[in-house]
Amino acid sequence: MLPGAKIPLPLSKGKKTPNALALEKEIAWFKTVMMARFDLYFERETDIEDIHTIQPPDLTTDLSAFAQIVKAFDMGFDERLIVILALMPHLQAQALDSFLFMNKDIARCFTEFGGWQGKHHSGFLPTCETAVFILAGSDLTRRFQVLQLFQADHYLSKQGIIKITHTASGEPFLTASLTMTAEYLGRMMTGKNQKPDYDIHFPAKYITTALTWQDLVLSVEVMDEIENIKTWLQYSAKILQQWELGRHIKPGYRALFYGPPGTGKTLTATLIGAEAGIDVYRIDLSMVVSKYIGETEKNLANMFDQAINKNWILFFDEADALFGKRTQTSSANDRYANQEISYLLQRIEDYPGVIILATNLKANIDEAFARRFQTSVHFALPDPDQRIRLWRGMFSDNKLLSADVDLNLLAEKYSISGGAITNAVRYAAIRAIRKGRENITQNDLVKGITRELLKEGRTQ
């Protein structure tokens, strides 16, 4: 399709939603601006002297999700065009086919149009160069002005609305792909705040729990440290801004949870987020760490870039794999491994939210990380009093227990974690069902405990 050709709007059936109507108007405005730029650039006859005379749709009274976002950031002409350009491959990909027009002099597409090729998408995908072409044409002064809209400190990137991705070092800045982040793509198209999907580009899992603080049995000392984290989440703005301590104190908070498996580290992190109304994401280190040079840093960058403006709690479980002690640089692999740790240390220090690392052994964590933790919390195995509370908390309905069950004896005799108690109860329930019984016996529970002890290489 040649530049200047009219692209018809698709026919739609049924009643249109306010968001669809708002986006249709924005698309129509974008295409008018795009065609005007082509006319001006190729010096074709046109009544338009400046694309900025083509006013975007008035959203003053528009209540659609798209309009609310535009108004919340008070977006101007340039910002709105960049946003709709990033949305176009998702809304009307064919509208960008005009950028595939061939330059007959060089027998390929116009360099000034920018663009990049997807693996499966056959159409045109925009780069920052595409936006600069539409907004500035060949005006060098305007080009410099538009370039500022793609800087990391501009709200379009800082607030995670658009994503600018450089695929190769050394290439011009504007060759970076221009895409819409998953969060704002969902909000602008459906009005819903979509949580990121677990994949190679975001190796983290959103975690929740149906349990409450009453289900978690921790020592007074541990709960005191947890209260410090909760207080920071609630009052960090007051400490940093009202008390003007932000000049000396960084906005983030880093905590180390250490202790045996099953002692409540993951549940505690999840409950902290639930109480504060903040999403908690558990990082899958198996998808972060790569044997290929530079890939680990790239995976970390993808994760932190998506999280940095969201105030999420990032929970690194079994953190030894990534936060382990640095080695003596006896080989190139050692040097790259140490670089990965240094890079991670920098990103963690710059992260403005809460980061929680969990490990079974505190000694495995690199001292450079340990020094930068605001708190280190030891999750020890529960004592007998705590274990009886855990056992009793498992059985809200005592009718499930046969008359021979002695929870006090189990709590006193077997030193196991809360997670092991949960597994033992699960096994006991399965065993009771298989035996055709409606209740759980002492022997069922002892069998379950024995299995848990064997997992740990213990007999008692």
26 occurs within a structural domain: yes
Cα–Cα distance between 342 and 277 in angstroms, integer? 31
Query: Looking at 139, 163, 190, which one is the last position of a domain?
Result: 190
Supply the angle between the helices 220-237 and 265-276 in degrees, to the nearest 10: 30
Residues 345 and 435 in one domain: no
Chain-centroid distance, C-alpha 246: 25
Rounded average pLDDT over 315-321: 83
29 occurs within a structural domain: yes
Residues 311 and 258 in one domain: yes
What band does 299 get if pLDDT is binned at 50, 70 and 90?
Answer: confident
Lowest-confidence segment of 86-95, 270-279, 317-326, 416-425 by average pLDDT: 317-326
84 occurs within a structural domain: yes
What band does 6 get if pLDDT is binned at 50, 70 and 90?
Answer: very low
Check residue 201 and give its pLDDT.
64
Check residue 12 and give its pLDDT.
47
Check residue 9 and give its pLDDT.
47
Check residue 338 and give its pLDDT.
63
Check residue 302 and give its pLDDT.
79
Residues 441 and 320 in one domain: no
Residues 388 and 363 in one domain: no
Residues 151 and 223 in one domain: no
Write the CA distances from 140 to 137, 143, 246, integer angstroms.
8, 5, 40
Check residue 109 and give its pLDDT.
87
Mean of the per-residue pLDDT values of the chain = 88
Supply the angle between the helices 140-147 and 128-136 in degrees, to the nearest 10: 130
403 occurs within a structural domain: yes
* Alpha helices, DSSP H, located in 159-294: 182-190, 220-237, 265-276, 285-288
Global pTM value: 0.73
12 occurs within a structural domain: no
Asked if residue 47 has pLDDT above 50, the reply is yes
Task: Name the CA dihedral angle for 71, 73, 79, 80, rounded to a multiple of 10 degrees.
Answer: -20
Query: Looking at 361, 378, 395, which one is the last position of a domain?
Result: 378
* Alpha helices, DSSP H, located in 99-219: 128-136, 140-147, 155-158, 182-190
Lowest-confidence segment of 70-79, 139-148, 325-334, 411-420 by average pLDDT: 325-334
Beta-carbon contacts of 424 under 8 Å, excluding residues fewer than 6 positions away, are 416, 445, 448, 449, 451, 452
9 occurs within a structural domain: no
Asked if residue 292 has pLDDT above 70, the reply is no
Residues 217 and 82 in one domain: no
Check residue 193 and give its pLDDT.
73
What band does 310 get if pLDDT is binned at 50, 70 and 90?
Answer: confident
Beta-carbon contacts of 109 under 8 Å, excluding residues fewer than 6 positions away, are 99, 100, 101, 102, 103, 115
Residues 56 and 181 in one domain: yes
What's the domain count of the chain? 3
198 occurs within a structural domain: no
Higher-pLDDT residue of 328 and 122 is 122
Lowest-confidence segment of 115-119, 172-176, 184-188, 327-331 by average pLDDT: 327-331
Residues 268 and 324 in one domain: yes
Residues 87 and 172 in one domain: yes
Task: Name the CA dihedral angle for 299, 305, 308, 310, rounded to a multiple of 10 degrees.
Answer: -100
pLDDT digit string, tens, across residues 203-252: 888 999 999 999 999 999 999 999 999 999 999 999 999 999 998 998 99
195 occurs within a structural domain: no
Pairing verdict, β 375-378 and 253-258? parallel
Query: Is-contact 68 193, C-beta < 8 A?
Result: no
pLDDT digit string, tens, across residues 163-205: 998 888 789 999 999 999 888 988 898 877 767 765 556 788 8
Rounded average pLDDT over 281-301: 76
Return the CATH number at 288: 3.40.50.300
Check residue 438 and give its pLDDT.
94
Return the CATH number at 430: 1.10.8.60
Query: Looking at 190, 223, 255, which one is the last position of a domain?
Result: 190
Q: Is 256 helix (H, G, I), strand (E, B) or coil?
A: strand
Domain extent for 234? 204-378
Rounded average pLDDT over 257-278: 95
Asked if residue 108 has pLDDT above 90, the reply is no
Residue type, 364: N
Residues 49 and 184 in one domain: yes
Residues 181 and 278 in one domain: no
Query: Is-contact 268 216, C-beta < 8 A?
Result: yes
Residues 435 and 396 in one domain: yes
